[in-house]
Each structure stands twice: as structure tokens, then as C-alpha cells.
């Protein structure tokens, strides 16, 4: 047995408005539900394609749709939620009631190409304060700096929930009885690292700075960095960022030349912003290009894309200097 605090006990001690705590309880509960479905795999009947594509023109998996429905229904049923936005929905949805204060955006199942191969996937979420109980999309378009909470659930070898409300980062593990237990009370990212994460198959398309940074890492102890690097790529941002929160590293998904009009692959509102909030709260840096913070981007569109370079602070500075 353990004397570790439960999620509820931890939340009771957090300095945050009751409404925000309710939002986090709903998210924790729904992520536990989604974890069950992910763990059941073929036995839950959730594997494979849904037959539809989302607003980004990506094939939706059955589990993308199921996770999206579970989150949307649970959040909109909560009296404190004013509206939701999701990677899997073209437009934002206001709640039917007019009592809510909070706006929640999410990627219901990040890394969904991992679902059918039993590799890690996760749910990423971002919480903002709304201006109106019947919000339109414009209400959601606030810079990441204004987030009041953010986090993710990682459905991996263990299911974990990692959260910030702006006072550090805490991690919980899902116990066999379905409850969340505080296991990682103060997550900090080491400032230095010898590990990078990038999809190397895109190398020829990158801009000069990223080419130079990665080339120097690959030269290892024989090159200007004077140390050997290791590479990891889970192909689910949620798992790559989790590794960085646990032991340091950098993660890049940079702009590339294939579609120059697109700023990057990852989405600002429900991938970049929540991960940037967590990374900065854990002492790391979360930037577009090694310098400009993701959290300062003024959003123009719900499904806006951005380049991402985040992780161990000193290593992100090396990306900027390359
Ligand atoms: O949401 C996009 C995403 O699945 C991220 O989770 C992940 O980091 C990335 O795409 C993987 O991209 P690629 O298919 O290029 O490996």
C-alpha cells in the first residue's frame, strides 16, 4: 500500500478557483475512461479507421472519434465549462447552458498513427478563462500565456496524467482501481541534455539553422559540441514531451520547405500551447525557433500550425545559436 496523495487530495490543496478544479476533475475522469478503451485495444473494438477525415485532412481513427466524443460530452455537461474546441472538430462548440467560465481545447488522441501498433498515444488539453458564457471561436483565440491550466494523459506502459495550473508540474499515475495517485510531485527538466527528437526523414526539407544544429549533434564528440548525442522519436508528441519532462532532451518539429505556406505540422492551440506551458513550468524552454516563446504567439485560427523547438533550456539555446 502507499501513502501517496490521491488526485482529489492534491487538488484540494492546490490554489485554484473551484470551477477550474472541477474542469480538471472532469478531464482526469474522462482520461481514465479513454485509458480503459486504449488498453482494451481490439477487445474494446476501437482499432482501425473511422472512415472519415478531420478538418486537417487527416484520416480519423475510430479512437480519435470516440475519445473526442467522450471529452466533448463530459466537458459540455459540466456547468463550469463554457465551450470546447478540438483537433477533431471543425469549429468550437459552446455549452447549452450559460453558466460556464472555462474554455477547454484538446487533442483527444495525440499520435493516433500509434494506436493500431500498440505504441504510446495520449490526450493533450489546454484550459482558458472565457469572456462570455456563450463563446464564439474568437473567445478561444487567446495567447498560450493566458492558459490557466494545461496537461496531458499518456497512455503508455503506465497511464499518467501530467498537469500544471501555473505553479509547477505534477504527475499522477492511474492505479488498478481507476484512481489517480500523485507519483511525480515536482517535475523539473534538466537544463542540459545529450538527447534530441526530430523526424530525421525530413532532413533535406529543413531550413539552414535546424540543418546546422542537427549536423553538429550528429558529429558528436568529434564535432563542435564535443559530446555524443542519442536520438529518440516516438511519433507521438505527448510521449516525446513526457520523456523530456522525465529526463531532459529537445523535441523539434520545424518549418520545412515542402509546404512553405504552412508554419509547421503541429497545432498551436491544443498541442503547442499546452506543452509549452508544461515545459516552461518545469524549467525548460518552449519556442518556435529556439528564441520566441510559443506562449506569446497571438493566435489567428483555431487549427493554426506552428514550428516547435522545446525542451532542456541550454539545449534550446543551442538551436537558436546554430
Ligand atoms: O499531432 C501530430 C503528431 O502525431 C505528433 O504527435 C507527432 O509528434 C507527430 O505528429 C509525428 O509526426 P511524423 O508522422 O512526422 O513522425
The protein residue whose alpha carbon is closest to atom 9 in ligand 1 is 235
120 lines ligand 1 (CB under 6 A): no
The contacts of residue 205 (CB under 8 Å, 6+ apart) are 256, 257, 258
> Within a domain: residue 158?
yes
241 lines ligand 1 (CB under 6 A): no
> Within a domain: residue 269?
yes
Check which CATH number belongs to the domain holding 248 and give it. 3.40.190.80
Are residues 141 and 107 part of one domain?
Answer: yes
CA of 144 from ligand 1 middle (Å) equals 21
* Least reliable range by pLDDT among 54-63, 184-193, 211-220: 54-63
315 lines ligand 1 (CB under 6 A): no
Are residues 206 and 164 part of one domain?
Answer: no
Residue pLDDT, tens place only, 133-147: 889 999 999 999 999
Q: Mean pLDDT in the chain?
A: 96
Last residue in a domain, options 159, 184, 209: 184
> Within a domain: residue 2?
no
For residue 309, CA distances in Å to 28, 195, 270, 284, 286 come to: 28, 13, 16, 11, 6
Q: How far apart are CA 71 and CA 28, in angstroms?
A: 10
> Within a domain: residue 1?
no
Domain range enclosing 210: 195-321
Closest by CA position to 239, among listed 271, 201, 202, 214: 271
Are residues 207 and 180 part of one domain?
Answer: no
Last residue in a domain, options 184, 217, 245: 184
Check which CATH number belongs to the domain holding 13 and give it. 3.30.540.10
For residue 270, CA distances in Å to 37, 53, 266 come to: 22, 18, 9
Please tell me what DSSP assigns to residue 37: H
CA of 237 from ligand 1 middle (Å) equals 6
Task: Please say whether the dihedral angle defined by the alpha carbons of residues 15, 16, 22 and 26, taken in this order, is positive or negative.
Answer: negative
CA of 306 from ligand 1 middle (Å) equals 13
Residue pLDDT, tens place only, 180-192: 999 999 999 999 9
111 lines ligand 1 (CB under 6 A): yes
The protein residue whose alpha carbon is closest to atom 11 in ligand 1 is 235
Are residues 33 and 162 part of one domain?
Answer: yes
For residues 244, 232, 143, 59, the Cα torsion angle rounded to the nearest 10 degrees is -140
> Within a domain: residue 86?
yes
Q: How far apart are CA 87 and CA 54, in angstroms?
A: 8
Q: How far apart are CA 21 and CA 80, in angstroms?
A: 10
> Within a domain: residue 218?
yes
**What pLDDT, on the 0 to 100 scale, is given for residue 17?**
97
Amino acid at each position: 500500500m502507499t501513502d501517496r496523495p490521491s488526485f482529489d487530495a492534491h487538488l484540494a490543496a492546490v490554489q485554484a478557483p473551484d470551477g477550474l478544479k472541477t474542469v480538471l476533475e472532469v478531464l482526469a475522469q474522462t482520461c481514465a475512461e479513454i485509458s480503459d478503451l486504449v488498453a482494451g485495444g481490439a477487445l474494446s473494438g476501437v482499432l482501425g479507421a473511422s472512415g472519415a477525415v478531420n478538418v486537417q485532412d487527416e484520416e480519423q481513427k475510430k479512437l480519435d472519434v470516440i475519445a473526442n466524443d467522450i471529452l466533448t460530452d463530459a466537458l459540455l455537461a459540466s456547468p463550469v465549462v463554457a465551450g470546447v474546441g478540438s483537433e477533431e472538430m471543425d469549429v468550437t462548440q459552446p455549452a447549452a447552458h450559460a453558466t460556464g467560465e472555462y474554455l477547454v481545447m484538446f487533442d483527444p488522441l495525440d499520435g493516433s498513427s500509434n494506436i493500431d501498433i500498440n505504441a504510446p498515444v495520449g490526450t493533450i488539453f489546454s484550459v482558458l478563462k472565457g469572456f462570455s458564457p456563450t463563446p464564439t471561436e474568437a473567445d478561444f483565440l487567446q495567447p498560450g500565456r493566458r492558459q490557466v491550466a494545461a496537461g496531458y494523459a499518456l497512455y503508455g506502459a503506465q497511464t499518467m496524467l501530467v498537469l500544471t495550473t501555473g505553479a509547477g508540474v505534477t504527475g499522477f499515475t492511474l492505479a488498478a482501481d481507476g484512481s489517480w495517485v500523485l507519483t511525480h510531485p515536482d517535475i523539473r527538466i534538466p537544463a542540459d541534455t545529450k538527447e534530441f527528437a526530430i523526424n530525421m526523414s525530413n532532413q533535406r526539407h529543413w531550413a539552414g539553422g535546424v540543418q546546422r544544429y542537427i549536423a553538429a549533434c550528429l558529429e558528436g564528440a568529434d564535432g563542435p559540441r564535443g559530446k555524443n548525442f542519442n536520438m529518440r522519436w516516438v511519433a507521438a508528441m505527448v510521449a516525446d514531451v513526457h520523456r523530456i519532462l522525465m529526463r531532459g532532451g529537445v523535441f523539434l518539429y520545424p518549418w520545412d520547405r515542402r509546404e512553405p505556406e504552412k508554419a509547421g505540422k503541429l497545432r498551436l492551440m491544443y498541442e503547442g500551447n499546452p506543452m509549452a506551458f508544461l515545459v516552461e513550468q518545469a524549467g525548460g524552454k518552449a519556442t518556435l525557433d529556439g528564441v520566441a516563446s510559443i506562449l506569446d504567439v497571438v493566435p489567428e485560427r483555431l487549427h493554426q500550425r506552428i514550428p516547435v523547438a522545446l525542451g532542456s533550456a541550454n539545449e534550446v539555446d543551442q538551436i537558436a545559436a546554430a
